[in-house]
């Protein structure tokens, strides 16, 4: 009787509250003890709970080596309340070349509130030879109804946050920070996903602030600070012959500061059935941006693997509305489209970009007409 009683005392309160603290599973906030198994056990408990569950991560630093948080779960309301920092191993070999540090798979109804992810990327960025696959800091594969709120991600080895094959994901009040020279550290990458919303987010990184890959549809991006970084990019598209298209993307209220690009659409100069259509870029301020508006359909790094040198990607219905500021190159608007698939229905409305206090220039190649051109610009 005594044994049963004490078991109830230990187990019942945990289950009843639905609140699993990683510390109760042995996680140690000293930044040095490997806490991976404790986090996985907390996840297993929360995931098997038939009622809503909370995993709490108290203040402190938790070393996590590599963790896959797998669904589907027995409930659709798991909250990870993070007040602490998760630290990746600085020795990238410890991640075993898997390409992911923290990976969520097939989870439905997950919220992550607060917290910091420290990818400790510096050693990996310096790796020159025999480097394993670069690890993204946090990836969501085939997840649904996810909210990422108030998360900070610093110094990822590869992309910071990746949303792949998901539906209905909200990213808000997120902060991404990595040095401007850190290679391939995209801030947020979205592909093969529908209904993703990214708002109130600040990104300073070495690669794209936000990159949008094949199969991104119904994407809403608003109130973003970007820079340093490579801007907000749709692409690279059309690497594959058969590829999902990008459709219905709205990007609003963005301030770009010292970025390489502002709004970019980029595709490989290769055959493909890919496309990008119904894209709206609205209300942006460019502060010393090298290429504020650019469509480049001739992407072919090292001029390898692009036999016909012509992109099959169809770019259609792209509007640039109320975009003001300064460019650091004379040609601030560059439309370099595909000879076999000219860009169609490109609109420039109230675009006022300057280069050294003069109106910036525009070039167009293979466009089926651009409407709304300022009188001072012409397509050459
Ligand atoms: C969960 O437990 C932690 C630690 O006891 C506490 O700080 C936190 O507020 C609790 N969260 C919820 C949602 O009950
Ligand atoms: C985390 O912070 C929130 C708000 O700052 C607080 O309500 C919560 O109790 C904290 N949780 C833990 C586990 O420290
Ligand atoms: C999207 O996910 C949120 C958060 O889980 C949920 O509240 C909302 O109902 C979902 N929306 C749809 C259309 O399923
Ligand atoms: C950004 O956050 C502020 C303050 O929380 C809020 O008022 C505003 O609606 C948010 N903007 C967007 C686009 O979500
Ligand atoms: C486009 O996407 C937005 C969400 O970003 C959605 O509200 C809207 O209904 C979509 N429009 C169409 C035509 O699907």
Give pLDDT, residue 5. 45
Is omega for the bond preceding 349 within 30 degrees of 0, making it cis?
Answer: no
Q: What is the pLDDT of residue 380?
A: 54
The CA-based angle 319-323-329, given to 5 degrees, is: 105
Alpha helices in the chain (DSSP H): 2-17, 36-48, 122-126
CA-nearest of 232, 223, 328, 327 to 279 is: 232
pLDDT (tens digit, 9 = 90+) per residue, 244-300? 999 999 999 999 999 999 999 999 999 999 999 999 999 999 999 999 999 999 999
The alpha carbon of 119 is separated from its chain's Cα centroid by a whole number of angstroms, namely 15
Give the β-pairing of 144-149 and 331-336.
Answer: unpaired
Quote the ligand 1 centre to 25 CA distance (angstroms): 14
Q: Residues 49-91: pLDDT tens digits?
A: 999 999 999 999 999 999 999 999 999 999 999 999 999 999 9
Nearest ligand by distance to the CA of 29: 2
Question: CA torsion, points 22, 174, 195, 166, in degrees to nearest 10?
Answer: -40
Give per-residue pLDDT as tens, 3-60. Answer: 444 444 444 444 445 999 999 999 999 999 999 999 999 999 999 999 999 999 999 9
Instruction: Return the percent helix, strand and coil in the chain, to nearest 5.
Output: 10, 50, 40
Q: Is the peptide bond before 228 cis (omega within 30 degrees of 0)?
A: yes
The CA 109 to ligand 3 mean position distance, Å, reads: 8
Ligand 1, residues at Cβ distance < 6 Å:
19, 21, 54, 56, 81
Taking CA atoms only, the protein residue closest to ligand 1 atom 9 is: 56
User: Measured from the CA of 218, which atom of ligand 5 is nearest?
Assistant: 2
Nearest residue to 42 via CA among 88, 5, 79, 84? 79
**Kind of pairing between the strands at 358-359 and 344-355:** antiparallel
Q: Which pLDDT score is estimated for 336? A: 96
**Active-site amino acid positions:** 230
260 neighbors 290 (Cβ within 8 angstroms):
yes
Question: Region 358-367: what's the mean pLDDT?
Answer: 91
Ligand 3 atom nearest the C-alpha of 109 is 5
Kindly state the DSSP code that residue 301 receives in the 8-state scheme: G
Closest ligand, as measured to the CA of 254: 4
Q: Report the C-alpha gap between 102 and 86 in whole angstroms.
A: 10
Q: Answer whether residue 313 shows pLDDT above 90.
A: yes
Split at pLDDT 50, 70, 90, the class of 98 is confident
Torsion angle of alpha carbons 120, 136, 72, 29, nearest 10°?
Answer: 0
Question: How many Å apart are CA 65 and CA 203, to the nearest integer?
Answer: 25
Return the CATH architecture of domain 19-125+132-378.
Answer: 3 Solenoid (2.160)
pLDDT tens-digit series, residues 176-208: 999 999 999 999 999 999 999 999 999 999 999
List the residue whose alpha carbon is closest to atom 7 of ligand 4. Answer: 200
Question: Residue of the nearest CA to atom 2 in ligand 5?
Answer: 218
Protein residue closest via CA to atom 3 of ligand 1? 56
């Amino acid at each position: 009787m005594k044994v049963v009683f004490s078991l109830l005392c230990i187990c019942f309160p945990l289950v009843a509250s639905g609140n699993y603290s990683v510390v109760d599973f042995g996680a140690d906030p000293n930044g040095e003890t490997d806490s991976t198994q404790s986090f996985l056990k907390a996840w297993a408990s929360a995931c098997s709970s038939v009622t809503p569950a909370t995993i709490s991560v108290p203040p402190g630093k938790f070393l996590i080596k590599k963790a896959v948080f797998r669904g589907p779960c027995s409930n659709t309301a798991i909250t990870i309340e993070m007040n602490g920092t998760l630290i990746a191993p600085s020795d990238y070999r410890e991640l075993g070349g898997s390409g992911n540090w923290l990976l969520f798979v097939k989870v439905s109804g997950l919220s992550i509130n607060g917290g910091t992810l420290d990818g400790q990327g510096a050693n990996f960025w310096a790796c020159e030879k025999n480097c394993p696959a670069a690890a993204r800091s946090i990836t969501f594969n085939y997840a649904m109804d996810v909210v990422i709120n108030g998360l900070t991600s610093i110094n990822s080895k590869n992309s910071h946050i990746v949303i792949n094959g998901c539906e209905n994901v909200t990213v808000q009040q997120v902060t991404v920070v990595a040095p401007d020279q850190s290679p391939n550290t995209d801030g947020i990458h979205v592909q093969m996903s529908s209904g993703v919303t990214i708002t109130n987010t600040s990104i300073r990184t070495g690669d794209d602030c936000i990159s949008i890959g094949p199969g991104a549809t119904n994407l809403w991006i608003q109130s973003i600070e970007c820079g340093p970084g490579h801007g907000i990019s749709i692409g690279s598209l059309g690497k594959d012959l058969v590829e999902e298209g990008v459709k219905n993307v709205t990007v609003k209220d963005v301030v770009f500061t010292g970025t390489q690009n502002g709004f970019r659409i980029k595709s490989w100069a290769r055959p493909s059935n890919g496309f990008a259509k119904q894209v709206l870029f609205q209300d942006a301020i460019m502060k010393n941006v090298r290429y504020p508006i650019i469509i480049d359909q001739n992407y072919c790094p090292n001029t390898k693997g692009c036999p016909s040198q012509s992109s099959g990607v169809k770019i259609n219905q792209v509007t640039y509305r109320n975009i003001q500021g300064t460019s650091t190159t004379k040609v601030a608007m560059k439309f370099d489209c595909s000879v076999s698939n000219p860009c169609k229905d490109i609109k420039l409305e109230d675009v006022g970009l300057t280069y050294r206090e003069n109106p910036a220039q525009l070039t167009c190649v293979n466009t089926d007409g651009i409407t709304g051109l300022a009188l001072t610009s012409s397509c050459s």
